Structure 1
Amino acid sequence: MNGEPEVHEKSGESERPEEFEARLKAYEGRPAAATGIGRDPVNQPMIRHWCEAMGDTSPAYTGPDAIAPPTMLQAWTMAGLTRRPERTAAYDELLRLLDESGHDAVVATDCEQEYLRPLRPGDAITFDSVIESVSGLKSTKLGAGYFVTTRTDIRAGGELAGTHRFRILKYAPAQRPPRPKDLRPRPVINRDNAGFWEGVARHELLIQRCTGCGDLRFPWLPGCNSCGSPEWDTVAASGEGTVYSYVVMHHPPFPAFDPPYAVGLIELAEGVRIVSNVVGTPYDKVRIGMPVRLDFRRYDDELVLPVFQGVTR
């Protein structure tokens, strides 16, 4: 923005920021999706797939009295690859207005869920969404833009079961200086995983350990999947592991990567798994069950990553 107020175009004439924001604010409270119906009732197969993907073994999600994991709340309303017919013209108008003003890039920023009652197999799901808020113009590292928050009320058998708030940023991409083509992408470091990357900088691969039940977990999470405890400490991985699964990347040729190369899902001796590059072994010689050993590779002045070397026995 360079300290200058933005001027938006409106029917061939200049529109001041406050006028534009007033137009955006007029969409608050309007429906984003008319009453929708979940594609399927709450069902055990979807619950099982979800739990397997998340590694959640809680007995609450199996058996004749099973409930759905609360975090599946949105799953029962999602459209997949198709556009849901419930989406309203008002929501499309709002997005088009932002696109036409130059804020045509979008990123999902966060979501919030509130659970009011458990969902059980057989529950029929209905939902409706409202445009809850549109922010004023915000400056972000991505560029200047507007946060749009929708609230979806999800009902089971007509009874309110939970609320899902979803927030996106519609922004005009900031101009950035080009990065060297051989510079690897930076990891996203936040308050939940900063300790892991501090360990990597010391050439330690740290695994979280719940101090409530003793379970190990990776990747790092703010709480334990097994007992729910938020308390934890860490143990350093021995560095021994095996290739649990792998893929060979041939395309596309991302900057700083030289395909073909192997990306492995490595099962550590401690029992947790990590995704990393398999190095020191030709990509076409990597095999499931192959023993590997942890190494740390420096890619530039700032970036050190854990990788795994193939071991010959």
Structure 2
Amino acid sequence: MTGSARSRAESRAETGPYGPDEVYGRLKAYEGRSAAESGRGRDPVNAPMIRHWCEALGDTSPAYEGPDAIAPPTMLQAWTMGGLSGHAARSDAYDELLALLDDAGCTSVVATDCEQEYLRPLRPGAEITFDAVIESVSDRKTTKLGAGYFVTTRMDVRADGELAGTHRFRILKYRPAKRRPPVTATTRTRGADAPIRPRPVVNRDNAGFWEGVALHRLLIQRCGGCGTLRFPWLPGCGACGSPEWDTVEASGEGTVYSYVVMHHPSFPAFTASGGPGPYAVVLVELAEGVRIISNVVGVPPRAVRIGMPVRLEFQRVDEDLELPVFRALEEAAVAALEGGVDR
């Protein structure tokens, strides 16, 4: 087979019966077409949903309660969701676009980002209606997940007939990339590249926390206005809104408040051996009252239990990264192993 013929064959294998240019041309034809028509929110804006939202996010702003309450602006999309049954408003054009991507081998999907614009406050009792349009389809992009196309839809949300906000939602429909074989302890000793732990995002709001980690100190923010402790780090207090703060150092004592054992998909970089296998993600409640997501070390994942006492330590993941983790206290670990069952 010649080089050009091989290239065409590989292209067909990646895009189905059509070449990349033809697929892109067919996808672009859907730009400007409807994605949803005459949609209607399943419920009017209401106080119970506002309360649930605020409790989940820990938002105690007085603007969201009482007789003059408004809905948090970030709830804009929530009022348009159709639940498990979906929405009858979704258009045939949008379904055709997704089917075309499936035919091109882009059978996996991941939400990438959204943008919202707020034009007026939403108050309890408002009836929500909406329409959506397929705003843009990108050319073929290659990502770590695989090659595919970014599809952006724009939804105009109305309250009692008046435009209240705009919600842009972007997905990537892609063909999953072929995965490299997992790195095991054996292959690592043979010099194969070990999986790299993902880097934490360090920005101006949390840089002080990571500076503390480098010094083996777990720092918690304390509001300069009301004294409330908060974690993770934020630019302002959720209780009183003050931007002033200082820090206190955690004692390192805590208990497992909740946990989940990850079996699939496998992320070797998160396991102690660097190979495939389950690992526990835990929510630790510190003695100071705040909670932090981390890992428990020193016991197998099946031994982790809610209420297990743990103590802070710092673990070097690689030469560039050190993380706060929690070691199960010996007595708790023994008891958990004796009475534990696999999860």
TM-score bracket for this pair, using the shorter chain length: 0.7 to 0.9
Match of 1:239? 251
User: How do residues 198-217 of structure 1 correspond to structure 2 at under 5 angstroms?
Assistant: 199-200=212-213, 202-208=215-221, 216-217=229-230
Question: Gaps (5+ residues) in structure 2?
Answer: 1-6, 186-193, 332-343
> What TM-score does the superposition give when structure 2 sets the normalisation length?
0.74
1:26 aligns with 2:39: no
1:152 aligns with 2:155: yes
- Partners of 2:69 and 2:80 in 1: how far apart? 20
Q: Do the aligned partners of 1:208 and 1:234 also contact (CA within 8 Å) in 2?
A: yes
- Partners of 2:296 and 2:237 in 1: how far apart? 29
Q: Say which one has the larger Rg.
A: 2
Residues 201 and 107 of structure 1: CA distance in aligned 2, closer, same or farther (over 3 Å): farther
1:272 aligns with 2:275: no
- Partners of 1:263 and 1:108 in 2: how far apart? 23
- Partners of 1:89 and 1:100 in 2: how far apart? 16
Match of 2:56? 53
Deviation at 1:87, TM superposition (A): 0.9
Q: Structure 1 residue aligned with 2:95, among 87, 92, 96?
A: 92
Report which stretch shifted further, 169-178 or 158-167. 169-178
- Partners of 1:13 and 1:266 in 2: how far apart? 51
User: How do residues 100-115 of structure 1 correspond to structure 2 at under 5 angstroms?
Assistant: 100-115=103-118
Residues 296 and 170 of structure 1: CA distance in aligned 2, closer, same or farther (over 3 Å): same
Q: Do the aligned partners of 2:220 and 2:248 also contact (CA within 8 Å) in 1?
A: yes
Q: Do the aligned partners of 2:206 and 2:234 also contact (CA within 8 Å) in 1?
A: no
Deviation at 1:197, TM superposition (A): 5.1
Which residue type is aligned with residue 205 of structure 1? Answer: L
Match of 2:200? 189
Residues 102 and 222 of structure 1: CA distance in aligned 2, closer, same or farther (over 3 Å): farther
Deviations 1:49-69 (A, max 9, x none): 111110101011111111111
Report which stretch shifted further, 179-188 or 239-248. 179-188
Q: Do the aligned partners of 2:231 and 2:291 also contact (CA within 8 Å) in 1?
A: yes
Secondary structure of the equivalent of 2:102?
A: helix
- Partners of 1:212 and 1:241 in 2: how far apart? 26
- Tell me which protein shows more strand as a share of its residues: 1
Which residue type is aligned with residue 68 of structure 2? Answer: D
Report which stretch shifted further, 30-39 or 137-146. 137-146
1:297 aligns with 2:315: yes
Which residue type is aligned with residue 238 of structure 1? Answer: A
Match of 1:179? 182
1:219 aligns with 2:232: yes
Q: Do the aligned partners of 2:259 and 2:306 also contact (CA within 8 Å) in 1?
A: no
Deviations 1:56-97 (A, max 9, x none): 010111111111111111111112222321111111111111
Residues 125 and 305 of structure 1: CA distance in aligned 2, closer, same or farther (over 3 Å): same
Q: Do the aligned partners of 1:253 and 1:259 also contact (CA within 8 Å) in 2?
A: no
Q: Structure 1 residue aligned with 2:142, among 139, 146, 154?
A: 139
User: How do residues 55-74 of structure 1 correspond to structure 2 at under 5 angstroms?
Assistant: 55-74=58-77
Q: Do the aligned partners of 2:220 and 2:250 also contact (CA within 8 Å) in 1?
A: no
Secondary structure of the equivalent of 2:48?
A: helix
Which residue type is aligned with residue 313 of structure 2? Answer: D
Deviation at 1:242, TM superposition (A): 3.2
Secondary structure of the equivalent of 2:258?
A: strand
1:308 aligns with 2:320: no
Match of 1:121? 124
Residues 147 and 38 of structure 1: CA distance in aligned 2, closer, same or farther (over 3 Å): same
Deviation at 1:218, TM superposition (A): 2.2
Q: Do the aligned partners of 1:243 and 1:264 also contact (CA within 8 Å) in 2?
A: no
Alignment root-mean-square deviation, CA: 3.7
Question: Gaps (5+ residues) in structure 1?
Answer: none
Which residue type is aligned with residue 30 of structure 2? Answer: Y
Match of 1:164? 167
Which residue type is aligned with residue 268 of structure 1? Answer: L
- Partners of 1:70 and 1:38 in 2: how far apart? 16
Deviation at 1:124, TM superposition (A): 0.9
Q: Structure 1 residue aligned with 2:133, among 116, 130, 135?
A: 130
- Tell me which protein shows more helix as a share of its residues: 2
Which residue type is aligned with residue 231 of structure 2? Answer: F
Identity in percent: 63
Q: Do the aligned partners of 1:130 and 1:150 also contact (CA within 8 Å) in 2?
A: yes
